[in-house]
Amino acid sequence: MSKFPIMPVDLYLDVERQRDEDDQADHARLREQLNSSAELSVIQESVHIQNKCYFDALNESLMKFRPYGITGEPMPWSTKVRRLQTKVDINSVDTERLFQMVKHDVFRWSSAFCGILPSNDFMFTVPGRSAKKQKQFNDELFQETRDKRLSQVLQAETVEQEHHWLNFEYEEA
């Protein structure tokens, strides 16, 4: 990602701070349901990490619409055309279409479920065991699902980045 993101990290921190203030009632309800404050802090940290991932994905998708795209301004030795005027008339931009494209990117990236924790889908019942030990984790199914999702992500990334393979100016000295 570029050194200069579209949305600064300060915006994310402000949104998270506001969200934490608004969710105090939910935190109290969670404290009652959980056994320890350590479990609550793990859940809260997981939510913060997930929200930061969404924020970064949104930023990455918005970067495509910059004048020079994600890669930024061409290197000084590049023969790529440089834009003399990088300011755009804000009225000429179809923001509704832009946001739909960004939303589509974020949903497509999140549909791969990369980084998701194993769920009950990977549990199977073992007959003849006590009720507590009756369910067992199906590691083979988990690995197979993980491999399928990873191959989907790599396939989409390969298609998206194919133009870089033939772009010799992309190489940095």
Q: Can you spell out the DSSP letters for 126-158? A: -TTS-STT-EEE-HHHHHHHHHHHHHHHHHHHH
Predicted confidence (pLDDT) at residue 121 exceeds the cutoff of 60: yes
Q: How many domains does the chain have?
A: 2
Enumerate the β-bridge partners of residue 154. none
Question: Do 118 and 78 fall within a single domain?
Answer: no
Q: What is the pLDDT of residue 44?
A: 80
Q: What is the pLDDT of residue 136?
A: 76
Q: What is the pLDDT of residue 5?
A: 75
The SS3 of residue 6 is: coil
- Quick one: pLDDT band at residue 62, thresholds 50, 70, 90? confident
Domain stops at, among 43, 62, 91: 91
What is the mean predicted confidence (pLDDT) over 45-58?
87
Q: What is the pLDDT of residue 80?
A: 72
Q: What is the pLDDT of residue 53?
A: 87
**Residue-number span of the structural domain to which 56 is assigned:** 1-91
Question: Do 86 and 120 fall within a single domain?
Answer: no
Q: What is the pLDDT of residue 128?
A: 65
Full DSSP string of 18-36: HHHHHTHHHHHHHHHHSS-
Contact 2, 72 (CB under 8 A): yes
Asked whether residue 106 is assigned to any structural domain, the reply reads no
Q: What is the pLDDT of residue 152?
A: 85
Distances in whole angstroms, Cα of residue 8 to Cα of each of 12, 22, 58, 163, 167: 7, 22, 12, 29, 30
Q: What is the pLDDT of residue 112?
A: 75
Q: What is the pLDDT of residue 87?
A: 62
Q: Given the structure tokens 């940290």, which residue do they identify?
A: 45
The radius of gyration of the chain from alpha carbons, rounded to an integer in Å, stands at 22
Predicted confidence (pLDDT) at residue 143 exceeds the cutoff of 60: yes
Question: Do 6 and 76 fall within a single domain?
Answer: yes
Question: Do 2 and 57 fall within a single domain?
Answer: yes
Predicted TM-score of the model (pTM): 0.61
Predicted confidence (pLDDT) at residue 114 exceeds the cutoff of 80: no
CB atoms within 10 A of CB 10: 8
Maximum C-alpha span of the chain: 75
Better-predicted residue by pLDDT, 49 or 74? 49
Contact 106, 61 (CB under 8 A): yes
Question: Do 3 and 56 fall within a single domain?
Answer: yes
Question: Do 4 and 83 fall within a single domain?
Answer: yes
What is the mean predicted confidence (pLDDT) over 149-166?
80
What is d(CA 2, CA 21) in angstroms, rounded to the nearest whole number?
31
